[in-house]
Chains A and B, each alone.
Chain A
Amino acid sequence: MAEVQEMDSSVPAQETSPDDSMPPAADSELQQQETESPPSPEAEAEAEAVEQPPVKASKSKKEKKVKPKKEKPEKVPKSPKRQPQPGMSRNPKMMICHVQLPDGEDVSIEIPKQAKGDQLFDKMCDHLNLLEKDYFGITYRDSQDVRYWLNHEKKIGRQMRRAPWAFAFEVKFYPPDPSQLQEDLTRYMLTLQIRNDVLCGKLPCSFVTHALLGSYTVQSELGDYDPEEHGSNINYVKDFRFAPSQTPELLEKIAELHRTHKGQTPSEGELHFLENGKKLAMYGVDLHQARDSEGQEITLGVCASGLLVYREKLRINRFAWPKILKLSYKRSNFNIKIRPGEFEQFETTIGFKLDNHKLAKRLWKTCVEHHTFFRLKEPETNTARKSFSGFGSRFRYSGRTQHQARQAGALIDRPGPNFERAASKRMTSRSVDGGRLYSKPPREDEGLSQYPHGHSPERYGTYPGRPYEDQKPPYAEDEDEMKRREYDQGGADDRNEPSVDHLERAKQGDPNKSVHNIGGSVCSAGPVEASTPLSKQGADGNKMAFFNGDGNQQYDQTGYRQTTTTTTTIDSSSQGMPPTVETEQVKYDPNVESAPVSTTNVPYVKTESHHVTYSSGQDDQEVDPGMLVTAQSIASKTQTVETTTYTSEQGGVKETRVERKITITSDNAEIDHDQALAEAIASVTHMNPDLSVEKIEIRTESEEVN
């Protein structure tokens, strides 16, 4: 997980959203725990029983058999009208994603089949020329029409399964104070989202509020009221969509109010719109249906300030984030542990029942994300250390927090992007000129200039001072057991090639990035150790060589456009700067030939076990593992995790090594081994990004059954 650190210390620190008086840092206590099933002796036994001695070595790497069923949709996707067929690109390695924008437009984006969520997201943000990306995300709907956020770290294919690749670009975190956003463009996107929220009933309003919001919409889209152009009745607004049900009376009020906004530019109109929107009770509240412990129907709302509980529109409870000690889910139950009140001794645990496990997990994730984004200065690292269960989802929000987003936002240096506001979807069909129903476009925002030379809407990667280097280890208040490794500034330069794209993605907390090899030592987002590099050539058959492919190129050779420029000047200026970590995006491609082990090459395996040994210690040297500190083994149905911690003194330096052995077993062949591997690796680095991967050993044992 990467961090965005301030390069220039004179940039004032921004306040995190202070809903309650408790400082954000206190929330690092919050445990966000997931328990899929309790560790039990049975599970352990089961895990062991399935481990088979290797019967047949896995197939050679030459066979690049891609799992057959994943890519083609087997049947026509179910009806909702706007769900298109996932287009098959001419290139079999690519997929076409249909993404709906907040203004109702659809765009088609071609991305590699194996792409992770963040690739689509970044492409979308590029398309929109959106810099303040942290507030947004991409959603998809499953067959029950339940909305999910696309996970940036995981492959899209894995998340979509059989569903068509239809998405929506939406606001994920609603900023409590939109006026503090840096760019009008961001506000525009937020406005579009809120308009949709109002229309679909997510953001309920009464008459006057609908009228006010509507009047600002009209001002932004049509400009000043002009009796000649707009007439003296409501006809000119009747085709807008303002409210779930609108009456002539509402339209009259809107028209009446529209006249009072004379002189407002579109951005001003949107700002006023947002100043109203942000004050609404349901602004930014993500709702989940559930039942309380007595079986009564309730609605849970997740928002910037905490967790809200409603029954029949009445708010019956409110748990501000500082009050919540722990969030967990188990089966279809979602539980929160509440801090004891002033005069109470004990914490309270409150449970809610969701309709199914998936929904409970979804709710939990949303809470984790909101809590992290709004309350923490940086994404959490040492959560649940004590309660780390070692199996199931170790999901953590890995994007930037609002605090970080604001800091980065403050450094946005480009002039406000010139963007076109599409006419909103009207009742009637759009006219051919792109939807402008009236000839006069709204007033241009003042102060907009032409793009300076060299800039174009697609290239935003260049702006000075983007502080992606790590001045210091990102998780300062981090693991005390893990010693921080020293930087090697000199060595860093040759080994690491900067990549703006990585930097862009760093904030997504791409876990693979944390463990990639840059031809030198594997480094995490933390300090780089000047230790023996992992061999790039994979000389040792046991080693997993990570491929950096072509350092700066994000995607493969299909000619897919790079999403960013590489004009960073960060590396060269790092002389004399505090030690920096330059890391590089590396694509781990299981299909590439030189991957020594690829379990995807075993098509007919019925039973597989896949040992991943991730151990510390230099490869060729005898290393005294040192003093054993702890040894722990946790097992679940599909995984066994054995963690052993050693400390040792080497050359006067106290070091702690952690050896984790994760055994993943599965009864059927459906394990995505790449995924499992990535997750296994991520599980460690998520826990402690300072941890350097020193050795990865993969053994696959499989039993072929014909």
Chain B
Amino acid sequence: MSTQAFKYHFAVVSRIPNSFKDHALRRKEPDQPIDIDLARRQHEEYVETLRRLGIDVLELPHDERHPDCVFVEDCAVVINGTALICKPGAPSRLGEVAVIRQTLRKELGLKIAEIDKEQATLDGGDVLWTGKEIFVGVSKRTNIMGAQAVAKAFPEYPTMTVMVPNEALHLKSYITVAGKDVLAVGKSRIAQQLLQSISESATYSYKTLTLEEDTAANTVFANNVVVHQSDNMIPKSFPILENKLDARYYCDLSELAKADGTLSSLCILVTRIKHPKCFQTSLE
């Protein structure tokens, strides 16, 4: 089954520390300050959604020392039973990976891969795995050496880099997988530029789901369901998603968005297949 590539059994998330409100990194200060309680409720709703997909969610306790710990995606890249432990580009976040490493190894039995080079930086949010190949955004948070580490850890897949402009945070802020061989992308210049880079270097061809707002393009595709943003966040794109997608859920992450939070940033998804016939790929 080809969508087996995006069949997930476990997810790792982290609860939100109080320090999140004032100290989580953000590109610009939001108009309204973060409502931490609302943020927590929204996060819980998100976790519930994952559970509804049949995913067993491991919730890590929050860590006050690391205000951004909720954005676990940036700490590890997990494909095909190997977890590459990242080196977040923001120095304040480096300490987050320890508990992630521990959890992935001990609780989920994944093979842990580490980044060799000192100067490498890698945010998981820059790694886009399409099921067949990997695109790594070289951005403010991820450098070439980080991209090399990805290629080395996952040699089964062709790995290409994509230059992410400075205005952007992560590659996946703009493009994510929203179905088998489907890439969701917004209409902005940056988004289209990134899409162009991907299509030029891609080995395989993909369909695009073009949305209005850039933030709408960040989705989570798991177990044949697309989880996307709620209509208050993406009023124009919401009807398109309703129209184009069969199985979907949506989540309101308004408070987390104030710290540049996206849907994909909040979890690390893990596949555990008892009797695999093939390594994890959507190639047939």
Contacts and interface: CB of A to CB of B under 8 A. Distances in A.
Interface stretch (B10-18, B214-222, B273-281): B273-281
Nearest to B111: A207
Contacts of B147: 314
A281 B158 contact: yes
A282 B157 CA distance: 8
B151 interface: yes
A208 B148 contact: no
A212 B279 contact: yes
A312 interface: yes
A161 interface: no
A312 B278 CA distance: 27
Contacts of A279: 156, 278-279, 281, 283
B230 interface: no
Contacts of B148: 312-314
Given A206-B80, A279-B281, A313 B201 contact: no
Given A312-B151, A313-B152, A209 B279 contact: yes
A208 B82 contact: yes
A50 B281 CA distance: 63
Given A206-B80, A206-B111, A318-B203, A212 B154 contact: no
A260 interface: yes
Nearest to B148: A312
B82 A206 contact: yes
A275 interface: yes
B165 interface: no
A312 B159 CA distance: 11
Contacts of A275: 277-278
Q: DSSP majority for the B interface?
A: loop
Contact of A272 (B154, B277, B280, B281): B277
B109 to A, nearest CB: 10
Contacts of A675: none
Nearest to B273: A208
Range class of the B interface residue count? 20 to 34
A272 B280 CA distance: 14
Nearest to B276: A212
A634 B40 CA distance: 80
B160 interface: yes
A207 B281 CA distance: 15
B91 interface: no
Given A212-B279, A315-B201, A207 B160 contact: no
A204 interface: yes
Interface string B112-153: 010000000000000000000100100000001001100111
Given A212-B278, A280-B156, A313 B151 contact: yes
Contacts of A305: 203
Contacts of B113: 206
A583 B274 CA distance: 59
Contacts of B161: 314, 316
A109 interface: no
B278 A276 contact: yes
B249 to A, nearest CB: 29
B155 interface: yes
A313 B155 contact: yes
Given A207-B81, A208-B81, A209-B279, A314 B160 contact: yes
Contacts of B281: 279
A208 B160 contact: no
A630 to B, nearest CB: 43
A281 B129 CA distance: 14
B82 A315 contact: no
Contact of B155 (A205, A212, A272): A205
A641 to B, nearest CB: 42
Given A279-B283, A312-B151, A318-B203, A208 B157 contact: no
Nearest to A313: B151
Nearest to A211: B81
A314 to B, nearest CB: 5
A209 B80 contact: yes
Interface string B185-212: 0000000000000000101000000000
Nearest to B274: A260
Given A212-B279, A279-B279, A315 B158 contact: yes
Q: Which of A205, A282, A313 has the most CB of B within 10 A?
A: A313
Interface in B25-73: none
A311 B283 CA distance: 24
A316 B160 contact: yes
B93 to A, nearest CB: 24
B11 to A, nearest CB: 19
Nearest to A206: B82
Contacts of B154: 206
B126 to A, nearest CB: 13
A314 B278 contact: no
Nearest to A210: B279
Nearest to A308: B158
B157 to A, nearest CB: 6
Interface string A462-492: 0000000000000000000000000000000
A323 to B, nearest CB: 11
A672 B203 CA distance: 46
Nearest to A310: B151
Contact of A281 (B111, B155, B201): B155
Contacts of A257: 275-276
B154 to A, nearest CB: 6
A317 B158 CA distance: 11
Contacts of A312: 144, 148, 151
Nearest to B204: A19
A205 B277 CA distance: 16
A204 B113 CA distance: 15
Interface string B261-284: 000000000000011111111010
B201 to A, nearest CB: 7
Nearest to A279: B283
Interface string A170-206: 0000000000000000000000000000000000111
Nearest to B201: A318
A305 B113 CA distance: 30
A281 B156 contact: yes
Q: Which of A206, A207, A313, A316 has the most CB of B within 10 A?
A: A206
B275 A276 contact: no
B155 A282 contact: yes
Interface string A310-330: 001111111000000000000
Given A206-B156, A208-B80, A316-B161, 11 more contacts: A206-B82, A209-B279, A276-B278, A281-B155, A281-B156, A281-B157, A282-B155, A313-B151, A314-B159, A315-B158, A315-B160
Interface of A: 204-209, 212, 257, 260, 272, 275-276, 279-282, 305, 312-318
18 contacts: A206-B80, A206-B154, A208-B80, A208-B276, A208-B280, A209-B156, A257-B275, A272-B278, A275-B278, A281-B133, A281-B155, A281-B157, A312-B144, A314-B136, A314-B151, A314-B160, A315-B158, A318-B201
